[in-house]
Structure 1
Amino acid sequence: MSAAEAGPAAGPGPGTARPDDAAEQAPRTALDRQVATYFQHLTIERGMAPNTVAAYRRDIGRYTRFLAGRGIGDAGDVTPRLLSDFAQDLRDGNDGGAPLTARSAARTVVAVRGLHKFWALEGVTPDNTAADLKPPATGSRLPKAMSVADVAAMIDAVPADTPAGLRDRALLEFLYSTGARISEAVGLDVDDLHAIAEDAGEADGPAVVRLFGKGSKERIVPVGSYAARALQAYLVRARPLLVTKGRGTPALFLNLRGGRLSRQSAWTLLKTAAERAGISADVSPHTLRHSFATHLLEGGADVRVVQELLGHASVTTTQVYTMVTAETLREIYATAHPRAT
């Protein structure tokens, strides 16, 4: 069993209080209570995914520690000057944490702006103290996409003669075929797959999968024939063996102990496959999602269709991939046209 699949060390049981439980259950200051209300809003009213809420907690936690260091115990005591100092300290590391990149600092500032906007709307503060706080410029960063040949080489590098290999190949084919986020893929149950016939090529129309994205939003995405065949091989030849090692679970992708595969294990198996294929570029599960979108657009897919497949709330988020394809066209033009340079 790999270290990645060993799972986290056993923690306190359900009835055991964690060291930070008291702080969460009984906020110590007015500011603690005001922040706790905001996270209830994100979780219950806005329905944010746990991973998204956790990211907000990290960013806002850095902010509240900064305020505590300045003796601030109530949202009403925050001034625009304090906010400006915090934004600067993010880049300098003077808030007690490591200095952040422009992109990470901008993300933290956006989280703090959202917090203050909520306080103003709820009447916690008379106005939005952070209304004029500007995140630092980050520049544009295009998503990284693999070539079609590299994707194929990475998948082909996975041996398909063991249960783990069949699972790994099915997962990689699935990620590239659907553009699913890694959290969506490992969160799937077998029943979320539809029309995976014994002979995938004879299914009545393409197979489809039900994915649950951010905010528990559901979408239906087609599964290509390569992925359908890989999934069928895994379901018939590998999953039955893996599930017997656990207590029984509806999860689609299983680890070697018969439990649900974790995101960390999925990340590890993808990097291992890239290394076997001799791919030197940094590869992550999100790389396959980027590649899925880029290759669809290069193949002529409408950006609105890609938006639906990716589960983006706004087409603006999807349009960044059109910049990737435009960059590819410029590179081809520069090398192929006799008067390009």
Structure 2
Amino acid sequence: MTALATIGRFDVSPLVDAAGERASVRFLEFFASHIRNPNTRRAYGRAVGEFLSWCEAHGVASIAAVQPLHVAGYIEELTQARSAPTAKQRLAAVRMLFDWLVVGQVVPVNPAASVRGPSHSVRRGKTPVLDPHEARQLLDAIDVSTPVGLRDRALIGLMVYSFARIGAALGMRVEDAYVQNRRLWVRLHEKGGKRHEMPCHHNLEAYLHAYMEGTGIAEDRKGPLFRTIGRGTGQLTRTPLPQANAYAMIQRRAIGAGISTRIGNHTFRATGITAYLKNGGTIEKAAAMANHSSTRNTQLYDRRSDAVTLDEVERVLI
């Protein structure tokens, strides 16, 4: 293949190559133009790659030769080895890819269209949540005498107090923290191109002001808000902080604060929503603040029932 053989981190599978150049180009266009969200692109690329590797190992000669039985067999094996949500996501990726190939007249029908995924119903999210005292402990444990400390406190504070997704937080520019009606606001660019604006909690306002002014980035309005640290300098660069780096930072900060809960980037969104609801907030307002299209999504982050369950367990007085 030529330079068309790769785009970003996606390699064209031999099964795609075997179907001809038209199939290869259409395959690359699926990731390059049809899927715009980088996180979805990465997840679907991994899912499609795993499926095509499975097909290759099971003797499928070309992507055009994939049949419903192949897709069903893959999903059946995957369901036995992985969780139901993982199997459903993999099936969705394969189904969307073949829809794209059908429209491009690479294959006549979608072999995944008739395959059903495993049943799965979720009423309670699995994201680990911090107790408000733990969240406070984590924030207070950060040494803010350095640029990296100011950055880390501001980023964690943003996710806690504004319920921001990590992708939206890391996508912010300095100009997305702005003053309106004598109060600092934040502008978040959420999934699907949605723009979400909300005023800052007074703690978040203090963290952001300290970070922008203490690191000298306040005047770089078009630059990224959260940045990497230069190797050996300890100073901020102009490179946006990658999501993987943010995750590694959170792990270090949790260990440094003595927090044993296994947390991730999404923990702070759930922590903020739960704390808000515990203090009399409504699920409707929480959904608006989190930029959820439905309160059903917000309810997955509502972990108030954890405390009730713990209280009931302690009634077993033996």
Give the partner amino acid of 1:282: R
Contact 2:22 2:106 in 1 (8 A): no
1:278 to 236, 252, 258: 258
Give the partner amino acid of 1:190: V
2:290 to 293, 310, 318: 310
Give the partner amino acid of 1:59: A
SS state of the match for residue 210, structure 1? strand
SS state of the match for residue 227, structure 1? helix
Aligned to 1:198: none
SS state of the match for residue 219, structure 1? strand
Report the alpha carbon displacement of residue 230 of structure 1 after superposing the two structures with TM: 1.0
Aligned to 2:269: 289
Aligned to 2:305: 326
2:40 to 41, 52, 56: 52
Contact 1:48 1:214 in 2 (8 A): no
Higher relative strand content: 2
Query: Given the superposition, is the C-alpha separation of residues 32 and 61 from structure 1 closer, same or farther in structure 2, using an over 3 Å criterion?
Result: farther
Contact 2:26 2:101 in 1 (8 A): no
Identity %: 25
Residues of 1 paired with 2:84 and 2:183: CA distance? Answer: 43
Contact 1:119 1:125 in 2 (8 A): yes
Describe the superposition over 1:197-239 as per-residue Cα deviations: whole angstroms up to 9, x where unpaired: xxxxxx7354221111122221113321101101111111223
Residues of 2 paired with 1:314 and 1:38: CA distance? Answer: 33
Aligned to 2:227: 254
- The alignment's TM-score, normalised by the length of structure 2, stands at 0.79
Residues of 1 paired with 2:155 and 2:283: CA distance? Answer: 25
Contact 1:175 1:182 in 2 (8 A): yes
Contact 2:60 2:66 in 1 (8 A): no
Describe the superposition over 1:151-176 as per-residue Cα deviations: whole angstroms up to 9, x where unpaired: 00000000122222222222221121
SS state of the match for residue 278, structure 1? coil
Describe the superposition over 1:93-142 as per-residue Cα deviations: whole angstroms up to 9, x where unpaired: xxxxxx54444333212322333445566766555432342323567453
2:192 to 215, 220, 229: 215
Residues of 2 paired with 1:301 and 1:211: CA distance? Answer: 21
SS state of the match for residue 266, structure 2? helix
Contact 1:239 1:254 in 2 (8 A): no
Contact 1:49 1:216 in 2 (8 A): no
Residues of 1 paired with 2:104 and 2:307: CA distance? Answer: 47
Count residues with an aligned counterpart.
302
Equivalent positions of 1:109-148 (< 5 A) are 109-119=91-101, 127-137=109-119, 140=122, 141-148=125-132
Residues of 2 paired with 1:74 and 1:262: CA distance? Answer: 33
Report the alpha carbon displacement of residue 329 of structure 1 after superposing the two structures with TM: 3.3
Aligned to 1:159: 143
Unaligned runs of 5+ in 2: 231-236
SS state of the match for residue 199, structure 2? strand
Report the alpha carbon displacement of residue 240 of structure 1 after superposing the two structures with TM: 4.6
Give the partner amino acid of 2:282: D
Query: Given the superposition, is the C-alpha separation of residues 110 and 230 from structure 1 closer, same or farther in structure 2, using an over 3 Å criterion?
Result: same
Give the partner amino acid of 1:110: A
- The alignment's TM-score, normalised by the length of structure 1, stands at 0.74
Report the alpha carbon displacement of residue 185 of structure 1 after superposing the two structures with TM: 1.5
Unaligned runs of 5+ in 1: 1-15, 93-98, 196-202
Contact 1:179 1:290 in 2 (8 A): yes
Contact 1:206 1:224 in 2 (8 A): no
Runs of 4+ in 1 over 6 A off after TM superposition: none
